[in-house]
Amino acid sequence: MGEKETEMLALFLSSSTYPALSSLSRSVTLDLARRTTLSALTMSMNLRTHAFAGNPLKSKTPKSTDPFSPTSAFESLKALIPVIPNQPTVSPDFKVLPFSKGRPLVFSSGGDATTTPIWHLGWISLADCKVLLASCGADLREDSLVYLGPKVEEDLVYWAVDLAEDGVVSELGGRKLCFVELRTLMVAADWADQHAMDELAIAGHARALLEWHNVSRFCGSCGGVTVPREAGRRKQCSNETCKKRVYPRVDPVVIMLVIDRENDRALLSRQSRFVPRMWSCLAGFIEPGESLEEAVRRETWEETGIEVGEVVYHSSQPWPVGPSSMPCQLMVGFFAYAKTVDINVDKEELEDAQWHCREDVKKALDVAEYRKAQRTAAAKIEQMCKGVERSQSLSTDFNLESGELAPMFIPGPFAIAHHLISAWVDQAPGNVQPKQQAGVSLSSL
């Protein structure tokens, strides 16, 4: 990296134009910049928004009288569906994103010997949506679609639809398409490309809403059938004596990097479901009547036997790639400072938990080839769209340049755990916050 590029990088990272950048971005020095390539630094810094956050369709909800609002768009939709395919040209126009078993429709472009393929969401017209649903034995109805949001500048309103069975779309409008797991799209997304991150956020929001609709078909109070309201943004019990309103479910989860200040170490853990050699932060669901900081302390104690004192908020991330029974988790990230250091692992929760020194964790971040994993996943999607299924463990991409297995690796930049860990690694020992941007320190009582 040249002197000019180094200075530009330092200016970008310290710019007040990006207040949501992690603490790392405000404390990177010129010496660090000289030693780090731009791509590596992009991987280890907190992005302006985490993966699945920053959905461009949800920045503002139009007023009910606005033609782009859920209410107005739904009324237009009801008028259009009966006359498809002979519907008149309308403003705004509608685009639909089909899903099959939680997988959005996508297509791939741009891949060759020198460039990485790029996946795109497979938006289709209302007419194509009607044909697609008919191929699955279903009719297009206004309550089949879920409102996602508008792009006013493009005169478009976007919707999502869930196919009742396995959908197959081999080609449409000259594009080869396929349904792909959201987690695969997450790994394949170029986190340095804002458009790619926008599309990932839209897909995550759509999946969360559709999965919530699937698990909320009946009223929890009386057992009556629930029906969509407000263009699918909520549901209501159809029982006239109940009429309970039901809203999309969000499951809050605390995720924490536990830090041993005195010995300059961080606590990392493994679960049995992790791919080989991956280590990450502790995490757990918040219980009723519990504060965030209480959840951090309880989960750390239950899983590792370590007592935590001070708790410092870092950031949060929507996580719509969990099981369908929990359509969207909200990961709330913290740094937690240990009061004790002896580990007693709960084997029912974790496979292992160990203290790792800063240098070892830094090496794990440095050797992991996150960009290679992203390219591999992008190539897999391209092959899937061409009808060639590829099955490969992404953990094979986190190896040393010599071809040897890396002893450990950390989740990639698409996960909040990556940013909690990298922020700690790149700060001075004993401190994970720069002086210019103090974090929110919660009660240590």
In the chain, the N- to C-terminal Cα span, in Å, equals: 47
Q: How many CA atoms lie within 13 A of 334 on its CB side?
A: 33
- Whether the pLDDT of residue 8 is over 70: the answer is no
Q: What pLDDT shows up at residue 53?
A: 95
203 and 179 Cβ atoms separated by less than 8 Å: no
Tens of pLDDT, residues 316-347? 999 999 888 888 999 999 999 999 999 999 99
**Radius of gyration for the alpha carbons in the chain, expressed in angstroms and rounded:** 23
C-alpha–C-alpha distance, residues 96 and 174, integer Å: 18
Tens of pLDDT, residues 182-202? 999 999 999 889 999 999 999
Tens of pLDDT, residues 88-108? 888 899 999 999 999 999 999
C-alpha–C-alpha distance, residues 374 and 338, integer Å: 34
C-alpha distances (whole Å) from 174 to each of 29, 64, 108, 139, 228 are 49, 37, 12, 25, 34
3-state DSSP call for residue 312? strand
Mean pLDDT of all residues in 216-224: 96
4: which 2 tokens? 């000019």
121 and 97 Cβ atoms separated by less than 8 Å: yes
Q: What pLDDT shows up at residue 15?
A: 30
98 and 124 Cβ atoms separated by less than 8 Å: yes
Instruction: Count the neighbouring beta carbons within 10 Å of the beta carbon of residue 92.
Output: 18
Residue type, 95: K
Q: What pLDDT shows up at residue 40?
A: 34
